[in-house]
Structure 1
């Protein structure tokens, strides 16, 4: 079969299985990205979740012998939630980022790539393929940009004309020399809204992210959250959408296309207090199909405690006291102690002082002291 005909038929097949955009690029090295990644390492801006070998991240031929081209795909996901529940006093809610609504995108994108692999193998018996989604070696954004899926925005997301930046990305290296597509021209222009509103200043310049300061990254860490970031979390329990929601290119992009990505409102915006006591089994049963569950319940629970402090939710004090006194994990006990001090109330000081006498972990003791200091400061302000 002629390459041109195969490529045309593949594009039609991809659309038939729910791929919203497909593009092609050559498999030559990503030289510019290599330089950017080296600079990221020098600045220590990396999250630590990505592949550490820069050569593998930018040299497709190291990942597939005889690599000729790369197929890039994109699936659009919703930016709006229908029938979203509203949190209120006594029933506060957290929020998962939009990229974690519905079925885990790693699974959904991988399913499409697998179908494409099978389709190609039927037509090209000696085809060589290597697919990846997010956790693979290649930089999804660099591949998508070069393959004409969209341009790389100042918010470090691929922005498509059709769906804005609300797209999941995946790619497949192959030894078939497909005709490359033309990259899309950058349309960010002079706009810098994403840089100006980033809660922690993680977007240090257009297209450069200090992941160590990014709220989306911070919500996935498992240790104590540094003090300077706690107030910036708000009610986010996984991820952050601020740099996307302010983007003019996302205006009007609801993207209610795939049923599998439509969120269960009660899971995408869950009640916070019940999260504090959820077991591993319950967490997996309830949230396990979402991409936001990949780090387990610990970060979600820690973030839920911080969110309750953000709301100054007095009704949560008894539950927080129980976490501070009984939870086996120091991070939970300490964060709860800090939150109790942040929220305050008639029982807060007594509970914190009792905990101070019994607690033995040095880090937790420090958080209890922070809680007591917050109470003192709050009392002085009222006076």
Structure 2
């Protein structure tokens, strides 16, 4: 069998196992990407979640010796939820980004890549291969761009002609020399809607992201969220879809090809108040199957407190006061203090903050209590 024939068989098999798009690229080093990554590092624009060794990110042979080709796959995910629950006064809800709807996409893509790799090994047992999803050394987007899956857009996502940017990406490296596919020409043109709509100005320019400002990154951090970003995240408790939602190339696109990607509305848009008192076990049972749970419950709870402050949800005050008085985690106590100040309108809130101030030893929490008291100085009506 020739490599051309094997490529066609792989393409046909990929459709059988539910891969929405497949492309082939050379395993040459990504030299242009290296220049961009060095610049990002020098500017301090990296998130810290990436592979720290730039050479590993740009040289496929460091992941698979004698690699000749990279197979890129894309699976399309839904952009709309059926019967989404309403967020209303007394029953406020947060939202997970679309990439965290349904079952954790890492498991879904690994399943497809494993099947593809098994098929390849049966046809060419002499070949070596390895696969990666998201957490691998290589840049999934750079591979997908080279393999003709889509173009690298101004919002730093890969946009496919068929599915827009609502796709998960995965890579399979192999020592087999497949004929590479042709990259797709960039089609963003003069459009800057994603840059203009970015809530925090994280899109510095087309194709350049300051990850430290990106809402998707900020919602995953574990410390205190910088105050200048708290209003910006609104009711997002994990991730951000703004730059995808405003993109004209995504207009009207909503793909439901994979049942395991369908969101449970009560998990994708969960009630905020129950999140605040959820145990680790309850959190894992409820949210453990989605990708948005990977950082644990603390960032989600912190973001839920900020969301309740965003809504000025007064029914949350009793729970927030309890967290302030009893929670062992400084980030939760401090964020609760800030939220109490944002929401509160009575002397009861002022009393709670002053009591906490008397008992608190953590410097950062004391700073948040002061912010809360400053808000109340303006908000509380005094006789």
Q: TM-score, normalized by length of structure 2?
A: 0.98
What's the offset of the Cα at 1:354? Answer: 1.1
Structure 2 residue 332 is matched with structure 1 residue 332: yes
The 2-side partners of 1:351 and 1:261 are apart by 44
Structure 2 residue 334 is matched with structure 1 residue 363: no
- Aligned twin of 1:323: 323
What's the offset of the Cα at 1:319? Answer: 0.6
- Aligned twin of 2:188: 188
What secondary structure does 1:228 align onto? Answer: helix
Deviations 1:12-63 (A, max 9, x none): 1011111000000001011110000000000010000000111110011121
What secondary structure does 2:79 align onto? Answer: coil
Please give the root-mean-square deviation of Cα atoms over the aligned residues, in Å.
Answer: 1.1
Instruction: Point out where structure 1 has 5 or more consecutive residues left out of the alignment.
Output: none
What secondary structure does 2:91 align onto? Answer: coil
Q: How does 1:222-237 map to 2 (within 5 A)?
A: 222-237=222-237
Q: TM-score, normalized by length of structure 1?
A: 0.98
- Aligned twin of 1:88: 88
- Aligned twin of 1:165: 165
Is the contact made by 2:341 and 2:371 (CA closer than 8 Å) also made in structure 1?
Answer: yes
What's the offset of the Cα at 1:345? Answer: 2.3
Give the paired residue count: 382
The 2-side partners of 1:275 and 1:215 are apart by 20
Moved more, 198-207 or 59-68: 59-68
- Aligned twin of 1:375: 376
- Aligned twin of 1:127: 127
The 2-side partners of 1:350 and 1:61 are apart by 62
Q: How does 1:1-383 map to 2 (within 5 A)?
A: 1-346=1-346, 347-379=348-380
What's the offset of the Cα at 1:64? Answer: 1.0
The 2-side partners of 1:303 and 1:265 are apart by 19
Instruction: Point out where structure 2 has 5 or more consecutive residues left out of the alignment.
Output: none
Deviations 1:142-165 (A, max 9, x none): 000000000001000000010000
Is the contact made by 2:235 and 2:310 (CA closer than 8 Å) also made in structure 1?
Answer: yes
Is the contact made by 2:30 and 2:59 (CA closer than 8 Å) also made in structure 1?
Answer: yes
What's the offset of the Cα at 1:256? Answer: 1.4
Deviations 1:144-192 (A, max 9, x none): 0000000001000000010000000000110111110000011100000
The 2-side partners of 1:77 and 1:132 are apart by 19
Deviations 1:328-350 (A, max 9, x none): 10000000000000001222111
Is the contact made by 2:74 and 2:169 (CA closer than 8 Å) also made in structure 1?
Answer: yes
Is the contact made by 2:345 and 2:379 (CA closer than 8 Å) also made in structure 1?
Answer: no
Deviations 1:247-278 (A, max 9, x none): 00000001111111110000000000000011
Is the contact made by 2:145 and 2:184 (CA closer than 8 Å) also made in structure 1?
Answer: yes
What secondary structure does 2:110 align onto? Answer: helix
Is the contact made by 2:101 and 2:262 (CA closer than 8 Å) also made in structure 1?
Answer: yes
